[in-house]
Structure 1
Amino acid sequence: MQNTTAPKTRLPSGQAGENKALDYLIKQGLVLVARNFSSRMGEIDLIMKDRDTLVFIEVRKRSKGNFGGAVASITRAKQQRLVKTAQLFLQKTVKTPPSRFDVVALDGDDITWLKNVIDEM
């Protein structure tokens, strides 16, 4: 007898959160450059263009506001890894455009987009 149960098509929570953030940012006029850029230093969830500015985006998802919510989960060490990874990405570009770091926080059904959250670039 065959198993007639349909396969699960559910995305892992992180990927589903990134998809939701990506859709939101595209509706705001940003253009996707790269997704899940990885280096030995870390990973950047989304890299997008906001007009002439290159935006490195960290997506944080929390189902509840426990422990300060999604934004509070970005530690100083995580910020340093993001900066180093972004620098590696920029080394591969011919011309270095203005850039910034944003966070898209998904707390339950709420989306919060925080611009220019790290001042090290």
Structure 2
Amino acid sequence: MTTPTDRPNPANRAPAPHRRQLGQQVEQAAARWLETQGLTLIASNQHAKGGEIDLVMRDGDNLVFVEVRHRQRTDYGDPLETITLAKQRRIIKAARFYLHAQRLSCPCRFDVVGVTGSLPKLEFDWIRAAFDAY
């Protein structure tokens, strides 16, 4: 049984700049891992109206928009469980903006990579076509 002292305390979180830097490092690690799986990195941290795309990658003829979610521990759930419908909508909106800005018309999909652990030892859980742009 887990006691309250066994659980991480959100009040003990690292300051925002450190979390942001850690997030970028985890996204870079996820991009490198996805490259070992055959994808090619096109862009990262693409900001658009109302949202951000962590990674833009190519998988054959498909452009892949990748959301990277990280948790050091899974005490509060798996990182893949944190992709809400609202988050999906923001990613889709940002992807549409990216496609328009780049003047691209190609098959696309939305993948999610859940990352657990601490640098440099990370574990990756990849869901291809995690959601659709209905």
Q: Do both share a fold (TM > 0.5)?
A: yes
The one-letter code sitting in structure 2 at the alignment partner of 1:75 is T
Query: Which of 71, 94, 109 lines up with 1:100 in the alignment?
Result: 109
Match of 2:129, SS state, is coil
Per the alignment, residue 31 of structure 2 pairs with: 22
Match of 1:111, SS state, is strand
8 Å contact kept, 2:109–2:129: yes
After TM superposition, where is structure 1 displaced by more than 4 Å over at least 4 residues in a row? none
Q: Please report the TM-score for the alignment, with normalisation by the length of structure 1.
A: 0.85
State the identity as a percent: 41
Per the alignment, residue 52 of structure 1 pairs with: 61
For structure 2, the residue ranges without an aligned partner over 5 or more in a row are 1-19
Tell me how far apart the structure 2 counterparts of residues 68 and 55 of structure 1 sit (CA, whole Å).
Answer: 25
Residues 72-98 of structure 1: per-residue CA shift (max 9 Å, x gap): 111111111000000111112334110
Query: Which of 108, 111, 114 lines up with 2:127 in the alignment?
Result: 114
Relative distance call for 1:54 and 1:67 in structure 2 (3 A) is: same
Q: Please report the TM-score for the alignment, with normalisation by the length of structure 2.
A: 0.77
- 1:13 deviates by 1.2
- 1:102 deviates by 0.4
Pairwise CA RMSD of aligned residues?
1.4
Tell me how far apart the structure 1 counterparts of residues 87 and 65 of structure 2 sit (CA, whole Å).
Answer: 13
- 1:66 deviates by 2.5
Name whichever of 77-86 and 61-70 sits farther off: 61-70
Residues 42-75 of structure 1: per-residue CA shift (max 9 Å, x gap): 1000000001000000011100112321101111
| Larger relative helix fraction | 2
Query: Which of 87, 90, 98 lines up with 2:99 in the alignment?
Result: 90
Tell me how far apart the structure 1 counterparts of residues 77 and 64 of structure 2 sit (CA, whole Å).
Answer: 24
